[in-house]
Amino acid sequence: MAKILVTGGAGYIGSHIVNLLRSTEHEVVVYDDLSTGRRESVTFGRLVVGELEDIEKLEGLIQEERFDACFHFAGSIIVPESVENPLKYYNNNTQNTLDLINLCVENNINKFIFSSTAAVYGEPAGGVCTEETSTNPINPYGRTKLMTEWMLQDVAKAHKDFEYIALRYFNVAGASVDGRVGQCSPLSTHLIKLACEAALGKREELLIFGDDYETRDGTCIRDYIHTDDLARAHLDALDYLLGGGKSEVMNCGYGNGFTVKEVIDVVKRVSGVNFRVKVAPRRDGDPPVLMSKTEKISKKLRWKPKYNDLSVIVKTALDWEREL
């Protein structure tokens, strides 16, 4: 049994990990400012409402609870916003994370699991990434995440007891299969969420950002992964660290690619609604292909995805969106 601090545990990704932690023996405290997360998304453990930059509050909590591990999800995640307001991202994602890591080191929290992103690869040649693919983020969001990976790498080298796993998420989508948590953010730019909104009549049409890429149908290819499988990867990462595993950076995706048009077809089929779709110009900074190699996470964490099926991802996303 471990005592776990989950920053950002009321948000889209964090709430799925907390929801899965319900089925374990671990004890959970969520620390979240509820800026994008929701109180009712915390289905397990204690919720402490606080800002990540409120170091005193966080330190008080850490000293009171004596955590064994930290899952760190709190952060800003909207790529275009990071271009417009980079300092917000360097503050929320880099500065605040530095302070959090510092508190962990000072207070003997030696297992750290960090939500990183495939955005650290930027526009990789060929589009299929192993963990050795060179990192070259093309926006402040990706840079702030990569900077955190570097901090963790250096800290783990300097502090022999400190171990971390950074999971580089590919395109996370869907909602928990038990229907308890899902994506709520009204500012989401994610394809599957927006397509579900179109299918449910919450938006008039869906735009395809570019159909002149060099892919099988001209639209961008992504590796979509179900939230519950992503959540499982975090628990596997925790087990690995608790079992004496060493620090690692790992991709987290299925290794399957779908084009934007293929995703739209699945949403239309699963929903039974032929919503309006229009081709628009390319969106800045979209790599044509972004897919994961999955050998490392499968081997090291023995991670076994259960929902590697785009129809399931879409169905859970639709069911959730209908109830919102």
For ligand UFG, the binding residues (CB under 6 A) are 77, 79, 117-119, 170-171, 189-191, 194, 206-209, 220, 222, 260, 283, 286, 290
Residue carrying structure tokens 């979209």:
286
CA-to-CA separations, 201 to 185, 255, 302, in angstroms, rounded: 18, 32, 41
Instruction: Tell me, rounded to whole angstroms, the distance of Cα 251 from its chain centroid.
Output: 11
Measured from the CB atom, the residue of 146 and 208 that comes closer to ligand UFG is: 208
- Shortest spacing between CB 264 and ligand UFG, in angstroms: 8
Q: Nearest to residue 3, comparing CAs of 109, 98, 100?
A: 109
Per DSSP, the three-state class of 116 is: strand
| Catalytic one of 12, 121, 141, 164 | 141
Amino acid at 294: T
- The answer to whether 121 is a known catalytic residue is no
Tell me which DSSP letter residue 282 carries. P
- Shortest spacing between CB 193 and ligand UFG, in angstroms: 8
- Shortest spacing between CB 183 and ligand UFG, in angstroms: 11
Measured from the CB atom, the residue of 59 and 123 that comes closer to ligand UFG is: 123
Backbone angles phi, psi at 152, to 5 degrees: -65, -40
- Shortest spacing between CB 225 and ligand UFG, in angstroms: 10
Backbone angles phi, psi at 200, to 5 degrees: -95, 10
Q: Nearest to residue 33, comparing CAs of 16, 19, 47?
A: 47
Measured from the CB atom, the residue of 47 and 199 that comes closer to ligand UFG is: 199
Measured from the CB atom, the residue of 181 and 208 that comes closer to ligand UFG is: 208
- Shortest spacing between CB 227 and ligand UFG, in angstroms: 13
Q: Which residues make beta-bridge pairs with 30?
A: 6, 47
Measured from the CB atom, the residue of 146 and 290 that comes closer to ligand UFG is: 290
The C-alpha atoms of residue 285 and residue 281 are separated, in whole angstroms, by 12
Q: What are the catalytic residues? A: 141
